[in-house]
Structure 1
């Protein structure tokens, strides 16, 4: 799947798209604006949004509409890359796109558990993506008012079985359904990566996803013990069944550590505790995004003609939208500049 020839055109395309992402200097400028209308006008002048937003009147755009437009840009850019990709590269994009399906399913499930009606307009950012890249009827699932209806709508889809298994438990919560989707997706990525990739692509996918899954497991162990006081058996059931740099015996020791101090001591001896000196059991969440972003940037610069450049761009695009959403909220509520920048940098 790798190689300069197969990636040269796509890499050039993505580099051009990457150059249009919001910079930290631009975030600084956005935070100097006085209201959401000024932010909308600012975004309309940016190359990333100008062509699609040119006909919109910033004076009539409210915060929710801007956030939907930003979210829609993720899916539009994914489709642009997919259209430009060759059949081999589309295998990765098809795999990656499942995270978008899961995102929408989680939104629908949240509405169901909150006993709210799902406004069809809420899925407008996703509709075109689902038409092109999914076999889920997004308009149909948004009419579901119970989990039984939703799961029935998913018959024939790969997410039907993992959700059906959770449905068998009468006490199943929203968290359980969401975790079932995540575990299914993460496990699938790990199990089929060797069938989809080879050479440098396989090496990079193994590295980026391997560290991601290890870090997510470390976060979950830390949170479940520190905040929820969960017993070891419950923690094991919810961990991603993947071992990369984090050894099975280290996971066992962390899960069954009798105290927070003992868990911290064990963590410092792991590969992650040794590699990242500033990383501790207490600041895993804060460092997670930074570390994952650093891994992707390193791999995409080291091998610009590989799957890493696709993954890195999609990741950065999603985080750009998250950061812009935070910036808009900070402008709206008058959050102090330094505090707002901390929120943005940590997202």
Structure 2
């Protein structure tokens, strides 16, 4: 009864917001349109975007503006839920919001790696969010033109350590810096989950993240062995300290394998290697996204008055923005609707 009372108000709020999310049928209708102006006009007529896009001129909006408008809707909706949440629910939302800090850091790093130093990113979609929910000085960070500058500017911040560890490897790629941030973030979630949640909420958070964390650890291990030739001790130091379906001895076997091929052979003997025959080192990332989405949908249906509802909605809102971005790009470049919907579904 306590869970029902605690979540009854916010559950009704989120169900109302869920009803406005763009469906696949609507995306298919967008893919039939002849140009992006009509795609924007279509979205302006939907309940999700009608109000916040009311002043948008579809004939004058370019690609970058569309992406910013879509992204800003995520932060607007997060703020709506946060304002409606009680103190316990806000603890989860504050933890969840770190993923948005990481998203912006990844954009800054992409800018640096692409050598677009004279064209800093536009943080207008994020500014209000960072003002309310972040300790990062985003205005300072977007002026950085090298990874060294960016990392030095983050001294004293929790993200400094994982980024500085990757910086020690000359062959580090943008992907690896991004993964270091992801691994750090998920480590924090796993470590504090028992302090923030109990009962069904704790079980659902553990289920929702467990397999994804296994996938992230596997992906990091394989990249570390294949590209960095990192020592086992260095690999262990950066792994999420958890075990879900992967056993400790299985992780040890893969980490301490003498060669990449030997590590792959050990992987085939794990729960994931046996259950998902098509799964290999190169497609772990897209697979863990798929698993997380499936888990969240199941948990939110089974326990509509729980933290799974909050997580599920925000995940699906972000998923909607990704799919719409792909759909509008397909319209822009004249990709056939049949081909375009496959790109959308693969996301």
TM value normalised by structure 2: 0.88
Q: Using a 3 Å threshold, how does the CA distance of structure 1 residues 161 and 221 change in structure 2: closer, same or farther?
A: closer
Shift, 1:172, TM fit: 5.3
Q: 1:295 is matched with which residue?
A: 295
Say which SS state the counterpart of residue 298 (structure 2) adopts: helix
Give unpaired runs (5+ residues) of structure 2. Answer: none
Sort the Cα spacing of 1:289 and 1:121 in 2 relative to 1 into closer, same or farther, 3 A. Answer: closer
Scaled by the length of structure 1, the TM-score of the pair is: 0.88
Aligned position for 2:314:
314
1:281 aligned residue: 280
Distance 1:149 1:169 in 2: 16
Summarize the Cα distance change of 1:70–1:132 in structure 2 as closer, same or farther, 3 Å threshold: same
Seen in structure 2, the aligned counterparts of structure 1 residues 235 and 152 have a Cα distance that, compared at 3 Å, is closer
Q: How does 1:202-281 map to 2 (within 5 A)?
A: 202-221=202-221, 228=227, 233=232, 239-255=239-255, 256=257, 263=264, 266-267=266-267, 269-273=269-273, 276=275, 279-281=278-280
CA distance in 1, matches of 2:176, 2:345: 30
- Matched-pair contact (CA < 8 Å) for 1:120–1:139: no
Please list the CA deviations of residues 29-50 of structure 1 after superposition, one character each: whole Å capped at 9, or x if unmatched.
1111111111111111111000
1:184 aligns with 2:184: yes
Assess, with a 3 A threshold, how the Cα gap between structure 1 residues 279 and 169 changes in structure 2: closer, same or farther.
closer
| Distance in 2, Cα, partners of 1:156 & 1:229 | 27
Secondary structure of the corresponding residue to residue 156 of structure 1: coil
Please, which runs of 5 or more residues in structure 1 have no aligned partner?
A: none
| Shift, 1:54, TM fit | 1.1
More displaced 10-residue stretch of structure 1: 55-64 or 152-161: 152-161
Q: Which runs of 4+ in 1 moved over 6 A?
A: none
* Cα root mean square deviation, aligned: 2.8
For 1:7, the equivalent position in structure 2 comes to: 7
Q: Is the 8 A contact 1:257 1:263 kept in 2?
A: no
Supply the distance in 1 between the matched residues of 2:323 and 2:333 (Cα, whole angstroms).
15
Aligned residues: 344
